[in-house]
Every structure is written in structure tokens, then in C-alpha cells.
């Protein structure tokens, strides 16, 4: 897959770039976590959905988050590629609509495999 990198900033482990569209409430919680982790899911959110395509994340942030919360952000972050192998890529629609389904109960372990910081790369209003 074209999204995998050969090494992280230390040059020792392969990482994969993921994106996540997010609204203002979730982004505030990420900031509280020092930009290094995603907050626990709410009871009605059994799955955490990072996406594998920046364009897909942009569409969600712009077309869903903005109408629902007035602002939508696209975040980018790196995760250890070997760890991600446990999550099959899910095709949620067209060829480029690809995401990972991380069960809420595994989110702490997922967060432990984030390499570096979660960055905001786009904001839509």
C-alpha cells in the first residue's frame, strides 16, 4: 500500500500514516491528551475509525462535521505498521474509501502505538 512509510523519526520501525476527520469536541480532548492519543469512545461508539486516505478524511470533515458542528478538522498521525496488521482494511464504499475498525476496548493499546503527535492538517468552516 502506498501509505506505509519505511521508518519513523528514529529510523527503527515502520509506520503507517492515518487520518481522522474530527469535530471540535473530540479535537479538544486530543489536545488535553497532549496530541498523543485519542480519547475513549462514548458508549454509543463501539468502533474507532481512522481512515487510510486524506481525501476521504477531507470529505467527511467538510461534508459531515461542518454541517453538524460548524467546523471539521482533518488530523494526521503515524502508527506502528506491525501493530496495525491486526486490523484488516475495510472498504466502506468506493475504491478510496478505506478505513480501519478499532474496537473501543482496544483504543488504549492502539494509542500506545501512535508514533509522534497527532497533527491538524486541514480545518473547514
Buried (b) or exposed (e) across 68-88, using 16+ Cβ within 10 A?
eeeebbbbbbbbbbebbeebe
- Going by C-alpha positions, the residue among 101, 117, 95, 98 that lies closest to residue 38 is 117
Asked whether the whole model's pTM tops 0.85, one would answer yes
User: Based on the number of CB atoms within 10 Å of its own CB, is 90 exposed (0-12), middle (13-18) or buried (19 or more)?
Assistant: middle
**Helix, strand, or coil (residue 110):** helix
Domain ranges of the chain: 15-124
Is the model's pLDDT at 5 over the cut of 80? no
Rounded-to-integer distance, Cα 118 and Cα 43, Å: 23
| CA 95 vs CA 38, 48, 65: distances in Å | 27, 20, 22
Domain 15-124, CATH class in plain words: alpha beta
Read off the pLDDT of residues 83-102 as tens digits, 9 standing for 90 and up: 999 999 999 888 889 999 99
User: CB neighbours (10 Å) of residue 18?
Assistant: 22
pLDDT band per the 50, 70, 90 thresholds, residue 13: low
Read off the pLDDT of residues 34-93 as tens digits, 9 standing for 90 and up: 999 999 999 999 999 999 999 999 999 999 999 999 999 999 999 999 999 999 999 988
Amino acid at each position: 500500500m502506498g501509505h506505509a512509510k519505511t521508518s519513523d523519526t528514529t529510523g527503527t520501525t515502520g509506520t503507517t500514516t492515518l487520518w481522522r476527520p474530527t469535530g471540535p469536541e473530540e479535537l479538544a480532548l486530543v489536545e488535553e491528551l497532549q496530541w498523543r492519543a485519542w480519547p475513549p469512545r462514548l458508549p454509543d461508539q463501539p468502533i474507532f475509525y481512522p481512515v487510510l486516505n486524506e481525501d476521504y478524511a477531507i470529505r467527511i470533515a467538510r461534508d459531515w462535521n461542518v454541517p453538524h458542528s460548524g467546523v471539521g478538522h482533518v488530523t494526521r498521525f503515524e502508527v506502528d505498521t506491525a501493530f496495525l496488521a491486526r486490523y484488516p482494511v475495510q472498504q466502506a464504499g468506493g475504491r478510496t474509501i478505506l478505513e480501519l475498525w478499532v474496537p473501543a476496548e482496544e483504543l488504549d493499546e492502539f494509542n500506545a502505538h501512535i508514533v509522534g503527535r497527532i497533527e491538524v492538517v486541514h480545518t473547514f468552516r
